[in-house]
Amino acid sequence: MFTSESVTEGHPDKLCDQISDAIVDRHLQHDPYGRIIAECAVASGILFIAARFTPGVNIDFSAVARQVINQIGYEHDTFNGKNCSIVTSLAEIPLERECPFREEALSEEVMELVAARNQVTVFGFACNQTAACLPLPIWLAHRLARRLTAVRIKKILPYLAPDGKTQVGIEYRDRVPARIHSITIIASQNRRDEPSIERLRNDIREVVITQVFAEEPIRPDDNTRIVINPEGTFAVGGPAVHSGLTGRKNAIDTYGEYARHSGAALSGKDPLRIDRVGAYAARHAAKNIVVAGLADECEIQLSYTIGLARPVSIQVETFGTGKVAESELARLVAEQFDFRLAAIVRRFNLRHLPSTVRGGFYRRLAAYGHVGRMDIGLPWEVTDASLQLRNEVGIGRL
C-alpha cells in the first residue's frame, strides 16, 4: 500500500511557491533574458521575500505578493493581501557574473560552452498507471485537492477557506493499482462554528469525493477508509495557523514520493537553473519511454556538475518493467534527448512562456504539480520522441 498527499493552492507552502513563481513570471515578462531567484516565507500576518535579480527591471514585489494572496482567496482578518506586513530583502546580481546568451541563436559549438552553474542530481519519472503517466496516488490526491478548491470558488461549498490537504492510499498487487485503501481530506472553514462537522463531512463526501471518483476506473469500496477532518472543524487555516516556505513540497510538485525527486526546490527559479529545468527534461525523456511502450515504469537520473554543459551521468531504471535492457535505453536517451542547459531552454522555450501564457506560466505550475498536468500544455509533457524511440528499438521486438 502506498500513499501520496497533495495540498490546495491556499496551503502556506504553496502560497509561497506561487508568489515566488509569480515574481519569476513578472521579471521574465519584462526581460526574458534576465535572471531572477525569489524565495518566500510566510507566517501569521507577515510575508518575507528574498530575491536576487539582474538590473534593468522594475518590479513591485509587494504588489505581486498581495495580488497572489487576494487571488487565492485570503480575505480574513488574521491574514489578507491588504493588511499583511511584507518584508523584502532584494539585491541585484552583478552583470559581470552573468554570461548572457540567446539560445535560439547559438551554434552547437557555443551551446557546448553554456555550462551548468549548479551541481545537482535530478530525476524524471513516468508510468502507465494513469493517462497523465503519473502514479495513481498523487494523481488522485491532486484531483481531490483541485476539486476542493473548485467547490469553494464556485460557491458550491462557500463556507470553505483556501487551505486544504488531501491524501490517497492505493493497494498495489505486483506493482499494479488494485483498490483504494484510504482517502483523507482536511478542509478549512471561514468560521469554526459553520457548518457543523457532520455537515462538512457529508458535503465533502458528496461534492468532492463522489464527483472525483465518478470518472476513475478504481473507486472506493465498502472497506475503503475515508477520513474527513478527524480532529473536527478547522477554522481559516493558512498562515494564521501554520507557516509556509518556498520549495517545501517537492514530492507534491513531482511524483508523490512514489519515485525519487531532487532535493532542490523547483519554484522561484528562472530557466537558467539546471536544478529546475533539468527535472523537466528528465520527465520528458521518461514519459516518452513509457508512451513508446519500452517500459511500464521509467525513472531517468541526470547528474550535473558545475562547469560542464552535459550531465556527467545518465541512468535509466525500469523496475523490471523494461522491454529492452536498461543499458540500451540509457544509450537511446543520450542519443535522442539533449540535456545541455541551453538546449533544454531552447527546446521548451522556457524564457518566453511567461509572456505567451495568459496570467503567467510558472505560477500555474506552483500548485497541483509541475509534471503530469493535463490542464496546461506543458512542453515537457509532449510525447514527440516516442515514435522515434520505437523505431530505434524496432517495433517487431516489442
Can you give the residue ranges of every domain in the chain? Answer: 2-8+136-245, 12-96, 120-129+247-397
**Rounded-to-10 torsion of CA 250, 188, 134, 223:** 130
Burial pattern 217-241, b for ≥16 Cβ within 10 A else e, equals eeebeeebeeebbeeebbbbbbbbb
Q: How far apart are CA 225 and CA 193, in angstroms?
A: 26
Which pLDDT tens digit goes with each residue over 187-210?
999 988 889 999 999 999 999 999
Of the pLDDT bands very low, low, confident and very high (cuts 50, 70, 90), residue 395 is: low
User: Do 124 and 286 form a contact (C-beta atoms < 8 A)?
Assistant: yes
Is 12-96 in the same CATH topology as 2-8+136-245? Answer: yes
Q: Residue 398 pLDDT more than 50?
A: no
pLDDT at 226: 98
Which pLDDT tens digit goes with each residue over 141-175?
999 999 999 999 999 999 999 999 999 999 999 99
Average pLDDT, the chain: 94
Of the pLDDT bands very low, low, confident and very high (cuts 50, 70, 90), residue 76 is: confident
pLDDT at 56: 86
pLDDT at 104: 80
Calculate mean pLDDT across residues 26-54.
95
pLDDT at 205: 97
Of the pLDDT bands very low, low, confident and very high (cuts 50, 70, 90), residue 99 is: low
pLDDT at 396: 47
Calculate mean pLDDT across residues 326-343.
96
Calculate mean pLDDT across residues 243-253.
96
Among 10, 17, 43, residue whose Cα is nearest residue 247: 17
Q: Residue 365 pLDDT more than 70?
A: yes
Q: Residue 341 pLDDT more than 80?
A: yes
- Least confident residue range of 107-111, 125-129, 272-276: 107-111
Percentage of the chain lying above the pLDDT 70 cut: 97
Cis, peptide link before residue 195, omega less than 30° from 0: yes
pLDDT at 37: 96
Percentage of the chain lying above the pLDDT 90 cut: 84
pLDDT at 359: 84
Among 181, 254, 175, residue whose Cα is nearest residue 221: 181
- Would you identify the CATH topology of the domain 120-129+247-397? GMP Synthetase; Chain A, domain 3 (3.30.300)
Greater confidence (166 vs 56) lies with 166
Report CA-CA distances (Å) from 277 to 109, 122, 131, 390.
Answer: 21, 9, 23, 25
Class of domain 2-8+136-245: alpha beta
Which pLDDT tens digit goes with each residue over 308-327?
999 999 999 999 999 999 99
Q: How far apart are CA 212 and CA 308, in angstroms?
A: 46
pLDDT at 397: 46
CA 379 distance to own-chain centroid: 14
- Would you identify the CATH topology of the domain 12-96? GMP Synthetase; Chain A, domain 3 (3.30.300)
